[in-house]
Chains A and B, each alone.
Chain A
Amino acid sequence: MISEDHVTLKTGVMMLKIQDLLLSDDEEDTKRVVRSAKDKRFEELTNLIKTIRNAMKIRDMAKCLEEFEQLCRAFLKSKTIMDKEGVPQFYIRLLADLEDYLNQLWEDKEGKKKMNKNNAKALSTLRQKIRKYNKDFETEIASYKEVQSCSPDAFTSSSGSDDDDDEGITAKSLLKKKPQEEEKKAPEASKFLKGAADEESESEDDEESEDWGSDSVDSGSESEDNEGAAASLAVVFLKKYDSRRKKHKKKERLEEEADEEAEAEEGGWEKVKGGAPMVKEKPKMFAKGTEINSAVVVKKLTEILQARGKKGTDRAAQIELLHALAGISNENNLGEGILIKIKFNIIASLYDYNPNLAAFMKPDMWKKCLECIDELMDILFANSNIFIGENIAEDSENLAISDQPFRVRGCILTLVERMDEEFTKIMQNTDPHSQEYVDNLKDEGRVCGIIDRLLQYLETKGSTEEVCRVYLRRIMHTYYKFDYKAHRRSLGLQGETKSEQDQEESEGEDSAVIMDRLCKFIYAKDRTDRIRTCAILCHIYHHALHSRWFQARDLMLMSHLQDNIQHADPPVQILYNRTMVQLGICAFRQGMIKDAHNALLDIQSSGRAKELLGQGLLMRNMQERNAEQEKIEKRRQVPFHMHINLELLECVYLVSAMLLEIPYMAAHEFDARRRMISKQFHHQLRVGERQPLLGPPESMREHVVAASKAMKMGDWRTCHSFIINEKMNSKVWDLFPETQCVREMLVRKIQEESLRTYLFTYSSVYDSISMETLSEMFELDLPTVHSIISKMIINEELMASLDQPTQTVVMHRTEPTSLQNMALQLAEKLGGLVENNERVFDLKQGVYGGYFNRDQKGGYQQKQSYQRGKHHSHQRDPHRSRSCSPVLLTCVGWMQLL
């Protein structure tokens, strides 16, 4: 019993200490110096008391004595403070307890006999000392004992009462400087009745509540014996006591919580000070009967908010408190002003919940956040007489109900923007292949809804700047989505009747119209460059996505973004890359192969498309960046549902490269200065060539390589079958909205380019070729063949002429043979060689006496060495050019001959 008692007492002391500290926090700033001194003293005292109690527990009288002497000295030292503040209750309690304890020991003859000599001696000394010492505190001790005897049941059934009792008393006495037993007794009891329970439910976690439940069952039999108020008190205390004991075991963990509790109480206590009645309703945070008006609530709100950001503040509890406060203000009809104010703060605290910027919100938090914002929007819409804004100063707020419109500080736009960011963060941190991702993605609709509502709200109330910001948010949620409704409608115009539901679905504005409206507003009104840049890029992206190639291209060219995008911040650059890719893919769909290739070249040639589009980090440069950079990069990633299919991108790029490169290669087979159009495509070709054994193509790349090889031979059918087949359809082509158009375009392109390649490659074999044959071979109609060949002739790619009456192409045979080509190459190289030789010669002439005359010291004079140098260079250098000349002559001779 005793030992248990001490355990609880100890906890009580600790609690007291914390409370002391916190309470002192409440005092006015002017008392700061005194307070710190007081704190120090009290800490010293409580520490000593703690050791004494420990010593008592193990019956170490020697230790007890020693510590007691120290305690007396410490008490003397803090005499001045005691005079001012009164003797602290815990000190009195220790004295009383110690005396009781010593008397008890003294009477226990047998126990005394068992004691060793040292201890026995110390016991007697201590007993005498304390008897003498306690005479100074007679009144205090007497009053203390009286309090205890007032609730004898509680005292006897559970010594835990001390604890709580003291908490109340001490705090009170410190505040009011002298105990007021009469006044206190009744309210104290009632406080405990409610307080204990509330305290538990309010600030202790679930685990503890479970303990509570089981405890109440255990103590059930005990409580039956007692009756009336005392009995219920006992029950409460028992429970309290038990949970406290548990608490002690988890002391470390709970320390923080205790802190919290104390804080919560702090609030409660302060109300006592302010309001006249002493009845405390802690969960409601206001004293019962207090006239709950806006001023009080605001005060309370500020109090709660003061704890924000402090170390050790339980953020979850804070959110709860705010919610409770909102409830109260709602109950008391304090008006929307205050409600909005509280809501703002709730949302802010929700955002604050994660201390780390990188961490994302938990689902329940997120749900709560969405709800809150929704409610907030409801209020704002319902009451048009509320002004909110960042620029409204705290003191010019008008929260109370009056004739004036409400004025509340806070920015709903910032909150929504933050919400949007949180949403992105959640999506970034969810596994994109899980059901969870889909579930999370469903919230996108809500997010969009909120943004839409905000947009409506701000359109009537906000400044243009705010409108721009919210428009951009709206755009950001629109630009990457393909508008199936509009697409279907454009198809549906041809008389297709849909089901009712479909028709219903297709109601509403086209996203293109919305984009146009929002973007144009931003172009006109925006002052910050960034929003406009983003809006332009999104607009282009949206155009490109919906195959409005010319609009997209013109916008891109007009914006001049290509020139200065490198100065933008990384997220904008990522957006730019995404836009360029989309533009390229759009061009491809429209059959502008060259444009598609150019748009995609930059992204693809680096081989880092994934990184450039913000769709994942590359593993290989792990050593190039540290963990910090990686975190930043991770934060920039685009959520999965916005990704651009990389395989599609690569395929589009490779196919366009194939369509450009293969005819080009055929045309410039012997050209020494032939340049590659696409390095990546050549790389793929080489990879394909390196294969020792060539099986049927599997991957997309292999298909393209195989198709390229077929095209090289002018075999368009094989090429076609490699590019468009089941596998490629499912991998790539079916991903386009207008699959069929794209495929038709592709077939046509393949036919045309194959024809060109065929003519380049085999023109030397023909004297003439009928266009009809060509048109049959490539399944192109005659005019097309005619136009292609004419174009080639005009561009001087094909040395031929058209014979109109017979519809044939007559070859002119002006292409040099391979030997002639070689001779030309050689002549070119020799030219370079001679040039180089001359440069060396010039240099030496100019540098005479420099490096080459190192050996001057051998007695030569400047002039002599000059001659020597000249002679030398004459001797050596021209012979090189001479060695070339016969070759040159030979070449020229051959050229003439052939």
Chain B
Amino acid sequence: WTIHVSVFQVVMKIIKHYQEEGQGSEVVQGVLLGLVVEDRLEITNCFPFPQHTEDDADFDEVQYQMEMMRSLRHVNIDHLHVGWYQSTFYGSFVSRALLDSQFSYQHAIEESVVLIYDPIKTAQGSLCLKAYRLTPKLMEICREKDFSADGLKKASVGYENMFEEVPIVIKNSHLINVLLWELEDKSTAADKHELLNLSSSTHLEKSLQMLMDRVDEMSQDINNCLFFIPLQYIQRRQQENAQRQSRGEPPLPEEDLSKMFKPPQPPPRMDTLLIASQLSTYCQTIKEFTSQNLGKLFMAEALQGTSSYS
């Protein structure tokens, strides 16, 4: 499974979409079109979802998509729905909404993917476009809507195997390749130096901030977990049992706990799982970023060293 993405029709369009409509933490979304060829998914075109405003609440998205696809078909462009794309802000995209919509896509069209475009990383000099799919296990769970602890346990779904990343190959038509070659000749050297930008603290700070927020959420979830069990009663019972054991008496049965306390609704596991997944994504991006930056710093040091020696 690989995904082939055409630069001009897809990547540039997504970037353009974000540049025009998204700013800050705002997210832009759109539809991917393409077709499955042998063992690869070729994404050949896309179109954006229009930005919602308050005054056209009755706007029908499905209707719009159908219209769009029909129109595209009329001009003989691939019109098969193969997924959707979304921009992200400092790598925060793992959310319930994404899970739900990706599930419904994958449920309807088996080969659907979601393309995540990170504009901030791209702005730093390296295009960041990633494709994700839900793992079959997660699909199973979502289909059964069983997000309880037991369900997740049975399906052995952890935060690390919720999403699978699909490798992307970016393909250009030869004409475009030629154009790019020509452009490269013309471009000045300064344009490429974005990649060597050494200032990293703002980006890191931001990432850390987001990370911290998630950690807070996580802590809260764990606290909820702690207090949802009738803690004090259990402790008392345990102490009692320990005493009884020391006296050689049979311990009191513990099953009656569930009878005495109406088992409260266990806290939903899925949110915690998503947060964990998001955390790991953050860590991943920070790790990548820092390793890159370290490299850059060493490079800069080396350069400075030579210049000072000379």
B191-232 residues at the A interface, CB under 8 angstroms: 201, 204-205, 208-209, 211-212, 215-216, 218-219, 222-223, 225-226, 229-231
Is A231 positioned at the interface, with any CB of B under 8 Å from its CB? no
Interface string of A864-885 (1 = CB under 8 A from B): 0000000010011001100110
Is A819 positioned at the interface, with any CB of B under 8 Å from its CB? yes
Q: Which residues of B have CB within 8 Å of A853? A: 255
Verify A840–B280 contact, CB threshold 8 A. Answer: no
- Pick from B215, B230, B263, B276: contact of A879, CB below 8 A: B276
Q: Which residues of A have CB within 8 Å of B261? A: 851
Minimal beta-carbon separation of A704 from chain B (angstroms): 33
- Pick from A822, A836, A846, A880: contact of B238, CB below 8 A: A846
A850-898 residues at the B interface, CB under 8 angstroms: 850-851, 853-856, 872, 875-876, 879-880, 883-884, 886-887, 890, 893-894, 897
Interface string of B261-277 (1 = CB under 8 A from A): 10100000000000010
CB-based nearest B residue for A818: B205
CB-based nearest B residue for A832: B219
Contacting chain A: which of B20-28, B68-76, B136-144, B153-161? B153-161
Q: Which residues of B have CB within 8 Å of A830? A: 215
Minimal beta-carbon separation of B307 from chain A (angstroms): 22
Verify B222–A833 contact, CB threshold 8 A. Answer: yes
Interface residues of chain B: helix, strand, loop or mixed (majority): helix
CB-based nearest B residue for A851: B229
Verify A890–B209 contact, CB threshold 8 A. Answer: no
Candidate in A843, A850, A854, A875 with the most chain B CB atoms within 10 angstroms: A850
Is B128 positioned at the interface, with any CB of A under 8 Å from its CB? no
Provide the bound-state CA to CA distance between A818 and B208, in Å: 11
B249-296 residues at the A interface, CB under 8 angstroms: 254-255, 257-258, 261, 263, 276, 279-280, 282-283, 286-287, 290, 294
- Pick from A817, A855, A884, A893: contact of B201, CB below 8 A: A817
Verify A879–B226 contact, CB threshold 8 A. Answer: no
Is B180 positioned at the interface, with any CB of A under 8 Å from its CB? no
Provide the bound-state CA to CA distance between A846 and B209, in Å: 36
A549-567 residues at the B interface, CB under 8 angstroms: none
Q: Are A823 and B156 also in contact (CB < 8 A) when A836-B226, A849-B254, A883-B280 are?
A: no
Is B234 positioned at the interface, with any CB of A under 8 Å from its CB? yes
Minimal beta-carbon separation of B105 from chain A (angstroms): 27
Q: Which residues of B have CB within 8 Å of A884? A: 215, 279
Is B184 positioned at the interface, with any CB of A under 8 Å from its CB? no
Minimal beta-carbon separation of A885 from chain B (angstroms): 9
Provide the bound-state CA to CA distance between A410 and B157, in Å: 94
Verify A836–B159 contact, CB threshold 8 A. Answer: no
- Pick from B219, B226, B238, B258: contact of A829, CB below 8 A: B219
Verify B222–A876 contact, CB threshold 8 A. Answer: no
Q: Which residues of A have CB within 8 Å of B222? A: 833, 836-837, 840, 880
Is A793 positioned at the interface, with any CB of B under 8 Å from its CB? no
Interface residues of chain A: helix, strand, loop or mixed (majority): helix
Verify B283–A890 contact, CB threshold 8 A. Answer: yes
Provide the bound-state CA to CA distance between A197 and B158, in Å: 112
Q: How many chain B residues touch the partner (CB < 8 A)?
A: 43
Verify B280–A826 contact, CB threshold 8 A. Answer: no
Is A131 positioned at the interface, with any CB of B under 8 Å from its CB? no
Is B39 positioned at the interface, with any CB of A under 8 Å from its CB? no
Q: Are A887 and B279 also in contact (CB < 8 A) when A893-B290, A897-B294 are?
A: yes
Q: Which residues of A have CB within 8 Å of B286? A: 887, 890
Interface string of B53-65 (1 = CB under 8 A from A): 0000000000000
CB-based nearest A residue for B256: A850
Verify A850–B254 contact, CB threshold 8 A. Answer: yes
Verify A843–B229 contact, CB threshold 8 A. Answer: yes
CB-based nearest A residue for B278: A883
Is B185 positioned at the interface, with any CB of A under 8 Å from its CB? no
Q: Which residues of B have CB within 8 Å of A887? A: 211, 279, 282-283, 286
Verify B225–A840 contact, CB threshold 8 A. Answer: yes
Provide the bound-state CA to CA distance between A331 and B248, in Å: 102
Candidate in A817, A832, A886 with the most chain B CB atoms within 10 angstroms: A886
A663-706 residues at the B interface, CB under 8 angstroms: none
Verify A829–B212 contact, CB threshold 8 A. Answer: yes
Verify B149–A876 contact, CB threshold 8 A. Answer: yes
Is A847 positioned at the interface, with any CB of B under 8 Å from its CB? yes
- Pick from A837, A846, A879: contact of B234, CB below 8 A: A846
Is A839 positioned at the interface, with any CB of B under 8 Å from its CB? yes
Verify B153–A872 contact, CB threshold 8 A. Answer: yes
Contacts A833-B222, A887-B211 known; 7 new A-B pairs at CB < 8 A: A843-B229, A846-B234, A847-B234, A879-B158, A887-B279, A893-B290, A894-B290
The list of the 8 closest CB pairs from A to B, nearest first, reads: A886-B283, A836-B222, A822-B208, A819-B201, A829-B215, A833-B219, A883-B276, A887-B283
Listed A/B pairs (21) with beta-carbon separation below 8 Å:
A819-B208, A822-B205, A823-B208, A826-B208, A826-B211, A829-B216, A833-B219, A836-B222, A840-B226, A843-B231, A846-B238, A847-B238, A849-B255, A851-B261, A854-B258, A872-B153, A879-B160, A883-B159, A883-B279, A883-B283, A894-B204
